[in-house]
């Protein structure tokens, strides 16, 4: 009897629930149904909003320690940076004050020397601000077009500068626009002066150098020129006012088989912007001295009394 009892299966009345496979299938279908319903009707959005509202204070409290540590570190970092900046600013202020004192002294000395030498003042002429519209389409030239022309008062031959120095020269003027030839153009030249030695040269554009450069023409090999020398406008041409930055000597090639050195310079206004300044040509240059009239000669070949005493007779055979 005992063996028969152990081998018997459970009565149907004691069977409870579904099988594991059935539960898995039903739960999978229910999950798919809930996901589709939530995607379609957003039924879980209110529940999520409520949970987010309840958990917001807890999230805020959990973030406060990290924020406090970061804020404390940032405070001390900013304080150290502010102290370093204040110290650097104080140092620069002292250096600039020293330079300002030297500049004022040099200005006064320059004015006194000009008064002693009776030199005329180099007054800056009128100027106009222009904006670069576009580069010219010619690939063999280095020119730009600006937004002012004859109507705006631009004249041909005017110098063009920017914050870095000389940019070029106005070469063509139209009613509404003007064409500016840059210093790096192969047909453009400008008289320059070495600020260190005072020697004068002529710089021409060298577009074959990478990025464009200037080349000093006919510089004797024995000329005192070094890399880093500042080149400024000499002002002897009447187009560019004196003292404007033109470029810096970047390369010197002295050859044994040539009596001239090849000197290249980097333009000071290489990184030009959209806005430029046009300087009108200088018009107050003194006139050239008039040529001395030839002495009038008498019929016997002698100069008249109005002629210079050192004038020689026209013919060696003339008799008194």
Hey, which bits of the chain come out as E strands?
127-135, 143-146, 159-161, 166-173, 178-182, 189-194, 200-206, 213-220, 230-233, 245-253, 260-267, 275-279
Res. 227: pLDDT tops 70:
yes
Q: Two tokens at 180?
A: 């500016």
Is residue 317 pLDDT above 50, yes or no? no
Q: Pick from 200, 183, 176, 303: which is nearest to 246 by CA?
A: 183
Q: Is the pLDDT of residue 124 over 70?
A: no
Q: Can you tell me the mean pLDDT for 163-175?
A: 91
Cα–Cα distance measured from residue 232 to residue 36, given in angstroms and rounded to the nearest whole number = 78
Strand-pairing partners, residue 160, are 168, 278
Across 17-21, 31-35, 276-280, least confident range: 17-21
Q: 132, 139 in Cβ contact below 8 A?
A: no
User: Do 203 and 231 meet the contact criterion of CB atoms below 8 Å apart?
Assistant: yes
Mean pLDDT of 104-132: 72
Confidence class for position 136, pLDDT limits 50, 70, 90: confident
């Amino acid at each position: 009897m005992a063996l028969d009892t152990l081998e018997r299966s459970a009565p149907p009345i004691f069977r409870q629930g579904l099988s594991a496979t059935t539960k898995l299938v039903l739960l999978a279908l229910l999950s798919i149904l809930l996901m589709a319903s939530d995607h379609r009707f957003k039924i879980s959005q209110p529940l999520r909003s409520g949970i987010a509202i309840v958990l917001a204070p807890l999230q805020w409290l959990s973030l406060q320690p990290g924020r406090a540590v970061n804020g404390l570190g940032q405070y001390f970092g900013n304080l150290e940076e502010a102290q370093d900046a204040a110290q650097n600013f104080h140092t620069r202020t002292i250096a600039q004050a020293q330079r300002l004192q030297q500049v004022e002294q040099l200005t006064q000395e320059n004015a006194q020397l000009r008064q002693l030498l009776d030199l005329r003042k180099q007054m800056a002429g009128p100027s106009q601000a222009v904006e670069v519209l576009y580069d010219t389409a010619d690939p063999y030239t280095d020119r730009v077009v600006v937004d002012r022309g004859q109507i705006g008062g631009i004249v041909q031959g005017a110098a063009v500068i920017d914050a870095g120095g000389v940019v070029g020269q106005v070469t063509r003027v139209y009613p509404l626009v003007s064409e500016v030839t840059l210093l790096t153009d192969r047909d453009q030249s400008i008289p320059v002066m070495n600020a260190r030695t005072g020697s004068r040269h002529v710089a021409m554009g060298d577009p074959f150098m990478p990025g464009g450069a200037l080349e000093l023409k006919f510089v004797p090999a024995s000329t005192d020129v070094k890399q880093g020398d500042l080149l400024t406008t000499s002002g002897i041409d009447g187009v560019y006012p004196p003292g404007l930055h033109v470029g810096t000597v970047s390369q010197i090639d002295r050859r044994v088989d040539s009596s001239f050195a090849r000197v290249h310079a980097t333009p000071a206004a290489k990184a030009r912007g959209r806005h430029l300044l046009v300087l009108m040509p200088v018009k107050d240059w003194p006139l050239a001295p008039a040529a001395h009239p030839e002495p009038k000669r008498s019929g016997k070949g002698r100069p008249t009394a109005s002629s210079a005493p050192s004038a020689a007779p026209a013919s060696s055979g003339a008799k008194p």
